[in-house]
């Protein structure tokens, strides 16, 4: 029998499935099938390719509850979040089905002839997926890759492969040809590395940590692969004294603790203008204590457990260390409640006022801990917000619209919201600046990351 990964439900600590550990051989076989499937997939008439993608989306809708339950059991995320994310998967597939025949080339004014451009598919795409949003992030890569005529091999995170495996089955049920969308389960260091180095893989679409992204980029350079990287973050929510403080505080837990803080867009720093710090912290404490942590299958739970015991240990380590401020330990300002019994629980925690130089205020925690840091004025807020190697996301809370635009232009991050913590929409581009990565997913922008512009000049000179 081939070796298998035991998949654990992080809320119950029970084994819920066993999944094969693919190796180099399985990866190579999948890439060979994807390569062979390419020409026929590219020859499918655009309207028919769009139709197949819509059927795929309809399959997802038909199996939405099954997929959501699978995601919740595997990742430990609240069922309400899983349902939203599966809904997004269908929406992504419909969006890119609609884009199949709208991703047009151009005619370019030149002398001596006619010049035109084509958007050509890249070939085989390798998609490497993290464990925090397995099914949603898979769809962000599958949608634009298939719409532009590529075939795709998906490598889910070793600990959360179940929804991607099911998604590929639904694609076949919808009528997508064999080999167009495949999933290879296994270790990143084996399957992921092989995809990054494989000579027949034209592009790696990677989402994960900055550390692994750096390695993937280096390995992909051997064959000059196209690479897009969606990496980590240390995003700031900036709250000015003139903001609707009640709204900013009530929204804050959702901005940092949703998915247990295991979110690349988590606003794990809240910068608050000093004159309203105490008022804001009181309001925030109420909101955090109302952020219920519990059984993720309960629709009223707002937060589930950490994904593994090991990850909970990493999160806890940040607090222990981060609290060792010069002059002695500081205690958390607010700590939420967690259930007893099995499950990798960690409470929502507010540290305030935090020093911007503490490790917890500088590195990605990927857990439910937020550092509240005071600032003096707008210039100070910009300096603190940008004082990070990351640049993924962030929020600006103010009633002054001119200030909101000045801040939005000054903060170096790919996705900002004003008076909101929303980061991701199907129709709008998503991606990072600085060490949060490059390339854009979602929106029409993603199509250009999965295609190559070819220029053709036709002489009209006799
Ligand atoms: P990770 O980097 O450990 O793993 C991501 C994926 O890469 C997994 O599938 C893993 O198996 C694979 N992998 C591991 N080593 C590899 C290697 N040497 N070569 C190729 N592939 C390899 O990340 P994670 O712990 O699964 O996810 C958390 C990280 O993902 C966080 O840093 C988070 O910020 C980031 N993330 C970013 C976004 C975004 O869109 N910017 C979204 C979600 C998560």
d(CA 16, CA 298): 18
Read off the pLDDT of residues 272-321 as tens digits, 9 standing for 90 and up: 999 999 999 999 999 999 999 999 999 999 999 999 999 999 999 988 76
* Atom number in ligand 1 closest to CA 187: 11
Task: Determine whether 51 is exposed, middle or buried from the number of CB atoms within 10 Å of its CB (0-12, 13-18, 19+).
Answer: middle
What's the fold here for domain 4-231+436-459? Aldehyde Dehydrogenase; Chain A, domain 1 (3.40.605)
Q: How confident is the model at residue 1 (pLDDT cuts 50, 70, 90)?
A: very low
**What's the pLDDT at 328?**
45
Read off the pLDDT of residues 148-201 as tens digits, 9 standing for 90 and up: 999 999 999 999 999 999 999 999 999 999 999 999 999 999 999 999 999 999
Segment 401-420 shows an average pLDDT of 98
Confidence check: pLDDT of 323 > 80: no
* Ligand 1 binding pocket, CB closer than 6 Å: 128-133, 155, 157-158, 188-189, 192-193, 196, 207-209, 212, 215-216, 230-233, 264, 364, 366, 392, 432, 436-437
Q: How confident is the model at residue 333 (pLDDT cuts 50, 70, 90)?
A: confident
> What are the Cα distances from residue 89, in Å, to 56, 68, 140, 148, 169?
10, 11, 8, 17, 15
What are 222's two structure tokens?
């051997």
% of the chain residues with pLDDT over 90: 95
Out of 208, 218, 390, 391, give the residue to mutate to test ligand 1, the one with the largest number of ligand atoms within 8 Å of its CB. 208
Q: Which of 37, 43, 61, 46 is nearest to 174 (CA)?
A: 61
Confidence check: pLDDT of 124 > 50: yes
- CATH homologous superfamily, domain 236-425: Aldehyde Dehydrogenase; Chain A, domain 2 (3.40.309.10)
Segment 371-384 shows an average pLDDT of 98
Domain boundaries in the chain? 4-231+436-459, 236-425
* Atom number in ligand 1 closest to CA 128: 9
């Amino acid at each position: 029998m081939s070796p298998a990964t035991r998949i654990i439900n992080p809320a119950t600590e029970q084994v819920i499935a066993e999944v094969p550990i693919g190796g180099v051989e399985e990866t190579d076989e999948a890439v060979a099938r994807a390569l062979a499937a390419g020409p026929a997939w590219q020859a499918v008439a655009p309207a028919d390719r769009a139709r197949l993608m819509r059927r795929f989306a309809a399959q997802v809708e038909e199996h939405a509850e099954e997929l959501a339950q699978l995601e919740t059991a595997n990742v430990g995320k609240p069922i309400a979040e899983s349902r939203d994310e599966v809904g997004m998967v269908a929406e992504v597939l419909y969006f890119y089905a609609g884009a199949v025949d709208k991703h047009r080339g151009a005619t370019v004014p030149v002398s001596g002839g006619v010049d035109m451009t084509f958007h050509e598919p890249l070939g085989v795409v390798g998609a490497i997926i993290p464990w925090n949003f397995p099914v949603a992030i898979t769809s962000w890569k599958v949608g634009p890759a298939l719409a532009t005529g590529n075939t795709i091999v998906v490598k889910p995170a070793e600990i959360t492969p179940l929804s991607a495996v099911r998604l590929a089955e639904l694609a076949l049920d919808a009528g997508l040809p064999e080999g167009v969308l495949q999933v290879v389960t296994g270790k990143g260091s084996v399957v992921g590395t092989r995809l990054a180095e494989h000579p027949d893989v034209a592009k790696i679409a990677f989402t994960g940590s900055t550390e692994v992204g750096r390695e993937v980029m280096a390995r992909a350079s051997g064959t000059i692969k196209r690479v897009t990287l969606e990496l980590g973050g240390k995003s700031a929510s900036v709250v000015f004294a003139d903001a609707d403080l009640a709204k900013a505080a009530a929204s804050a837990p959702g901005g940092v603790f949703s998915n247990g803080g295991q979110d690349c867009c988590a606003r794990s720093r809240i910068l608050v203008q000093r004159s309203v710090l105490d008022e804001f912290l009181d309001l925030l404490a109420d909101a955090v204590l109302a952020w219920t942590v519990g059984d993720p299958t309960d629709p009223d739970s707002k937060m589930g457990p950490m994904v593994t015991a090991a990850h909970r240990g990493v999160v806890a380590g940040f607090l222990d260390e981060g609290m060792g401020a010069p002059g002695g330990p500081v205690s958390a300002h607010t700590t939420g409640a967690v259930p007893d019994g099995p499950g990798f629980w960690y409470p929502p925690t507010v540290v305030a006022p935090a020093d911007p130089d503490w490790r917890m205020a500088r590195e990605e925690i990927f857990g439910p801990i937020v550092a509240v840091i005071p600032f003096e004025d707008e210039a100070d807020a910009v300096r603190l917000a940008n004082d990070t190697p990351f640049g993924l996301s962030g929020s600006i809370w103010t009633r002054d619209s001119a200030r909101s635009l000045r801040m939005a232009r000054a903060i170096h991050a790919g996705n900002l919201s004003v008076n909101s913590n929303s980061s991701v929409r199907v129709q709008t581009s998503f991606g990072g600046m600085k060490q949060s990565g490059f390339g854009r997913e979602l929106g029409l922008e993603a199509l250009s990351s999965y295609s190559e512009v070819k220029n053709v000049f036709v002489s009209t000179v006799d």
